[in-house]
């Protein structure tokens, strides 16, 4: 199952107790907002695993403008077939 949070819209999932028994993968925009959302989601559901995001190195580079001023990569710009192949590697089911 995929859940679209719409940026900070994941807040409706704060009280979703059923998520505690699920494998939860997070894939957000590669910018400081994406990492803030991941942090806020993990505050409620600490078992959330980020995928397609090399957290510490990338976050540091984005925060320090190492790649340029306010650089970001929105996941909507990544080819879906490539993303699905990558996500299958993280999924417990492999499908």
Four-CA torsion 29, 34, 38, 39, nearest 10 degrees: 160
Q: Name the stretches of the chain with pLDDT < 70.
A: 1-2, 4-5, 91-95
The pTM for the full model equals: 0.71
What are the φ and ψ backbone dihedral angles of 49, each rounded to 5 degrees? -110, 130
Show me where the domains of the chain are located: 7-90
Which residues, at least 6 apart from 91, have a Cβ–Cβ distance to it below 8 Å? 23, 25
Q: What is the pLDDT of residue 1?
A: 59
Q: What is the pLDDT of residue 73?
A: 72
Cα 41 to Cα 57: distance, rounded to the nearest angstrom:
20
Q: What is the pLDDT of residue 4?
A: 67
Q: What is the pLDDT of residue 46?
A: 92
């Amino acid at each position: 199952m995929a859940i679209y949070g719409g940026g900070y819209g994941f807040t409706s999932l704060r009280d979703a107790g059923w998520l505690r028994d699920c494998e939860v993968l997070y894939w957000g925009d590669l910018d400081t907002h994406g990492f803030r959302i991941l942090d806020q989601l993990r505050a409620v559901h600490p078992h959330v695993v980020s995928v397609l995001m090399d957290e510490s190195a990338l976050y540091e580079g984005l925060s320090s403008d190492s790649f340029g001023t306010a650089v970001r990569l929105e996941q909507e710009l990544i080819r879906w077939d490539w993303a699905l192949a990558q996500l299958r590697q993280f999924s417990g089911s492999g499908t």
